[in-house]
Amino acid sequence: MSLPDSPVWFITGCSTGFGRDLAKLVLDRGWNAVVTARGADRVADLVEGVEDRALALDLDVNDQAQIDAAVAAATDKFGRIDVLVNNAGYGYQATVEEGEEAEIRAQFDTNVFGLFALTRAVLPVMRAQGSGNIVNFTSVAGLVGFPGSGYYAASKHAVEGWSDALLAEVGPLGIGVTCVEPGPFRTDWAGRSLRQTPSTIPAYAETAKARMKGTKDVSGTQVGDPVRAGEAIIATVQQNTAPRHLVLGEFGYDAVTAKLKERLDAITAARDVSLGADFPETVDA
């Protein structure tokens, strides 16, 4: 599953943030890249001077026709896709009680169903090659639920569970699957890619409401470096077998490992109750 000498990357959400920095790193290495955004003009600068090995495309992952056209354009130009990076997505914060139906469904359309649709379109290409790597951006919130981010966490948890099943299906075909789970990174995510429904219920003032405010307040001061994150992703997919999880940043690492330990301890503590739910063993008379 390691990369060929001149791999082809297909990266969504390249207008800003992780996607843009990763695209630059890939192209700086002399590799090939399909860089996409909602409006090819927003990524045109990335391909200037390297048009022979780069392609800028319009892609809204909610639009099946654009998905099909983008995958066709990529294979027409390069003949293959070695790494698919599902980076396009955004955040939505609200208390669970005050979440707005339209906002919740719109987030799932992009973060979940759009990612699913693009992956389905690329899988036949990788399956025919007998190789490839699929990199799904989830979040620390894909493994840990925080107050104020219940619906965002739900969208990322969905991708995590789906990625487990995907790997079980395509791993034997030579295709790797990695979920990238960043903590707070200095990408201006909170400023450009975060929607919020303000909480007006006093009971949530010290939990969800406080955290929602804190998310906005720290924007631009996070310790996570998106360029170093891109380097980590590149190093990960260059391995013979890419790991299923790539947690990025100290905050994320500490939060995820603590949550997994807490979860395992809770499950283990209830072992007798869990096993007691089976039919009792029958004893021959």
Q: For every one of its 285 residues, what pLDDT tens digit does the chain have, with 9 covering 90 and above?
A: 568 889 999 999 999 889 999 999 999 999 999 999 999 999 999 999 999 999 999 999 999 999 999 999 999 999 999 999 999 999 999 999 999 999 999 999 999 999 999 999 999 999 999 999 999 999 999 999 999 999 999 999 999 999 999 999 999 999 999 999 998 776 766 556 789 999 999 999 999 999 988 876 666 667 778 999 999 999 999 999 999 999 999 999 999 999 999 999 999 999 999 999 999 886 565
Widest distance between CA atoms in the chain: 83
Place of tokens 């899988």: 123
Q: How far apart are CA 82 and CA 77, in angstroms?
A: 13
Question: What are residue 178's phi and psi, to 5 degrees?
Answer: -130, 135
Strands 91-93, 194-196: pairing is parallel
Identify whether 152 is a catalytic site residue.
yes
Note the CATH architecture for domain 8-271: 3-Layer(aba) Sandwich (3.40)
Sheet holding 175-182, edge to edge: 54-58, 32-37, 8-11, 83-86, 132-137, 175-182, 245-248
| Active-site residue, selected from the candidate residues 92, 151, 152, 204 | 152
Domain ranges of the chain: 8-271
Instruction: Map residue 69 onto helix, strand or coil.
Output: helix
* pTM higher than the cut 0.85: yes
